[in-house]
A = this chain, B = another copy of it.
Amino acid sequence: MTSATASPTTWRRRGEQGPDDATIARIDAWWRAANYLSVGQIYLLDNPLLREPLHPDHIKPRLLGHWGTTPGLNFISAHANRVIRERAQSAIYIAGPGHGGPGPVANGYLEGTYSEIYSDVTQDTEGLRRLFRQFSFPGGIPSHVAPEVPGSIHEGGELGYALSHAYGAAFDNPDLLVLAVVGDGEAETGPLAASWHANKFVNPKTDGVVLPILHLNGYKIANPTVLARIGEDELTDLMRGYGHRPHVFTAGFDDEDAVSVHARFAALLDEVLDEIADIKERAAGLDAEEVERPRWPMIVLRTPKGWTGPKEVDGQRTEGSWRSHQVPLANARDTPEHLQVLEDWLRSYRPEELFDDAGRLVEDVAALAPEGHLRLSDNPHANGGLLLRDLRLPDVRDFAVDVPVPGASITEATRELGKWLTEVMRRNPDNFRLFGPDEVASNRLQAVYDVTAKQWNAELLDSDRTENLARAGQVVEILSEHQCQGWLEGYLLTGRHGLFTSYEAFIHIVDSMVNQHLKWLKVTDELPWRRPIASLNYLLSSHVWRQDHNGFSHQDPGFIDHVVNKGADVVRVYLPPDTNTLLATYDHVLRTRQYVNVVVAGKQPGPDFLTMEEALDHCHRGLGIWEWAGTEEDGSEPDVVLVCAGDIPTLEVLAAADLLREHLPELRVRVVNVVDLMRLQDPKEHPHGLPDSEFDAIFTTSKKVIFAYHGYPWLIHRLTYRRTNHANLHVRGYKEKGTTTTPFDMVMLNDLDRYHLVMDVIDRVPSLGARYAGLRQRMSDARLAARRYTREHGVDIPEVAEWQWPDVGETGTAAGGPQYDTGGDNE
């Protein structure tokens, strides 16, 4: 299903003896150099090469950073360099214990990349001084593996996503090796625990390879870790249960010399990479659909926490204890004893052997690293924008639904989008994926299976083949929003495109993940060497208004509020009211870069209002007056403005406008629809913000505005707070009052229904009020009748369920179905 296949030159077997003594010595020297630079970053303001005795003034006044995990990260980097060089294997490195920032920074510097990007951090003594000083220092770099670190696609501040990002990077990158280090602290998190099963979703032929390295250093901040304390039998059972062949490597707990440790690990790494090469070779000889899931190797690396650091500080065990987690010596500046321990510790790495007089890494050690883009810190996959290709997008006009008059067709918006996405997938078979937590079909996107399949590398029954599962495909489904989000992030960060479809309520499961991704985007916006990546696109269907039987637990429109907090530079929110606007919206968002685009759209049959040309214009404007729906006249202001954002609110506003036409024909009503929510915000706050003059022209400066909104009503007040007419704005939205009900009953429960909107108009427009108390009561009666009908029959009253925009009847066009179907979001 995908054109990506491994090129024959990769995945070499070693096919000879292990590394010679000189290479082992070089690995050890590299490791010492990386460890030295790591300690230097945490502690030193000056005297970077200890060319003079350490003095308290050389020590930073605030010691901030994490030593504990760093030597392990450096150990893996040193050994990875050797095998990458020998095998010319393209690889990226994901440091799950991302708080060990000094390690990847040190390695990027030793590889030369750091100085190429940050040219003032030179390969000499002054550059070393700058490297040390900037670390976790005001105006410098964070102590984590932040976006500032070359070679990284993974922050690691919030733990749990190392393997998800790794597998996301591996999809459709058949030549790529992803070294994914999982900390034993991180391994306790839910998202990480589930992510081991990702190996049932990658295809050995068409995808890359993730090599998980579980780094058991035994301790977290203040506690031992679970996986370090279940015994090797349970641990290896667990890894086999996850579908891996575990290789356990233990070092650092005895007096074994460094040469022996390195030789053992080098041999293990060769064995594991040869295993992988064998798997790849077998897969290369088969069709992608014939490949069976192998038992992928993984490594358990058991070492002391803070390995090679001080054994004891103030009489308390430090190496091999949680006390190494951060800064093992807190008072090096104030107590001479600590200062001495620090100096001894730094000198134990023998910096004089590693750096020449000018402060440059000696050539023999530098030769360990691969060259150019094979350097872990310079692999273009870790700066995905470099590899990003525009999508080949079909013309949405070819997928338009026909709308002869507004309301004259009834379609399921996401189902129509699915047809367009089918063509998107067909045209972009190797760089576009759709991720979902078992909801792709539920959200009506199943047309995509005409051209692709759900990739599934667990057991596959014959019956599955007819159910759209296959060994390779562009759709990936697992019942874990965390995995969908993490995979998509990894896929985007390595330069591809995609979208994530989910239920609106449960997308909160990834609130914290999208926070981190948005922060990553915000920081990379400021880093010119980081090239823009494709936006992360959500399609949230099964939304708050159509949880007819799932009820209250499935109602939550707050994800919009959540992302809006993260700021205008990286967030876009769209609420297309019908099918053609949804198509126009997605045609836009798939072209954008560096955003999170939240698109909320129903999957139930609903009326279409705009032709495709109108939809494209409407989406381009982001909001606009629907003159056909209102009763205003040129040359005079309307008496009231009805605004809608979201498909259900739009339906109710139009039905209210219809009632007003009938019962208050003299009232001049303006109907406004909002697709791009950020158009409401002050242009000083958001680049999409409508200029005040345009806003005032549409929303008036003095008339009452009744706003029917998809989500929690406060967001509209927040966005329009600075607008001239804000005091006249009355917002109806979701109120956390849902229960088990029918679609219209749900709308009534929240006072968002047509009858209530008319009552709002009567209550608020000064010229109406008490004069129309009779009409008001008739509207109230209509609500009560609708409620009674629902309780009796279990469906909505026909006058609501079958209502259609009056123009439809006039033109004799049949709308084709009820406005509220009887389906419900039944999953």
Contacts and interface: CB of A to CB of B under 8 A. Distances in A.
Interface of A: 45, 60-62, 64-65, 99, 136-144, 146, 155, 157-160, 185-186, 188-197, 200, 220-226, 229-231, 234-243, 317, 321-322, 325-327, 438-442, 454, 456, 458-461, 463-464, 467, 469, 477-483, 505-506, 508-509, 511-512, 515-516, 519, 522-523, 548-554, 556, 558, 561-562, 565-567, 712, 714, 717-718, 721, 735-736, 739-742, 745, 790-791, 793-795, 822-824, 826-827
A65 B158 contact: no
B553 A158 contact: yes
B142 A220 contact: no
B62 A794 contact: yes
A782 to B, nearest CB: 17
A435 to B, nearest CB: 13
A394 to B, nearest CB: 25
B479 A159 contact: yes
Contact of A794 (B60, B239, B519): B60
A498 to B, nearest CB: 18
A218 to B, nearest CB: 10
6 contacts: A193-B197, A221-B438, A223-B456, A239-B241, A516-B553, A566-B736
A194 B200 contact: no
A76 B326 CA distance: 49
Contacts of A515: 505, 508, 556, 558
Contacts of A139: 739-741, 790-791
Contacts of A460: 229
A794 B478 contact: no
A146 B200 contact: no
A549 B134 CA distance: 11
A64 B442 CA distance: 14
Nearest to A60: B794
A611 to B, nearest CB: 33
Contacts of A458: 224, 226, 229-230
Given A189-B479, A516-B553, A241 B234 contact: yes
A143 B469 CA distance: 29
Contact of A550 (B138, B142, B480): B142
Contacts of A195: 190
A333 to B, nearest CB: 10
Contact of A146 (B64, B185, B230, B551): B551
Contact of A237 (B226, B238, B561): B238
Given A141-B740, A221-B827, A548 B717 contact: no
A346 to B, nearest CB: 19
Closest 9 CB pairs of A and B: A238-B241, A157-B553, A190-B190, A64-B549, A142-B551, A229-B458, A508-B512, A237-B241, A193-B194
A185 B479 contact: yes
B742 A62 contact: yes
B440 A222 contact: yes
Given A511-B512, A548-B62, A522 B736 contact: yes
A793 B139 CA distance: 11
A824 B66 CA distance: 13
A54 B505 CA distance: 38
A137 B827 CA distance: 16
Contacts of A745: 138
A477 B219 CA distance: 12
A200 B235 CA distance: 13
A824 B237 contact: no
Given A459-B229, A741-B139, A62 B822 contact: yes
Contact of A190 (B440, B483, B717): B483
B222 A441 contact: yes
Nearest to A821: B62
Nearest to A148: B740
Given A141-B740, A238-B238, 12 more contacts: A142-B552, A155-B553, A158-B505, A189-B481, A190-B191, A190-B192, A192-B194, A230-B241, A238-B241, A241-B242, A522-B552, A561-B565
Contacts of A194: 188-190, 192-194
Contacts of A325: 827
A745 B136 CA distance: 13
A224 B740 contact: no
A103 B347 CA distance: 68
B189 A190 contact: yes
A179 B203 CA distance: 38
A461 B321 CA distance: 12
Contact of A193 (B157, B190, B562, B714): B190
A138 B508 contact: no
A83 B712 CA distance: 48
A734 B45 CA distance: 30
A202 B570 CA distance: 44
A477 B62 contact: no
A220 B439 CA distance: 10
Given A143-B551, A194-B189, A194-B193, A226 B242 contact: no
Contacts of A826: 64, 326-327
Contacts of A508: 511-512, 515
Nearest to A326: B826
A606 to B, nearest CB: 17
A194 B184 CA distance: 13
A516 to B, nearest CB: 6
A505 B461 CA distance: 44
A222 B442 contact: yes
Nearest to A795: B61
Nearest to A478: B188
A525 B157 CA distance: 38
Contacts of A146: 551-553
Contacts of A62: 548-549, 742, 794-795, 822-824
B197 A740 contact: no
A95 to B, nearest CB: 14
A501 to B, nearest CB: 12
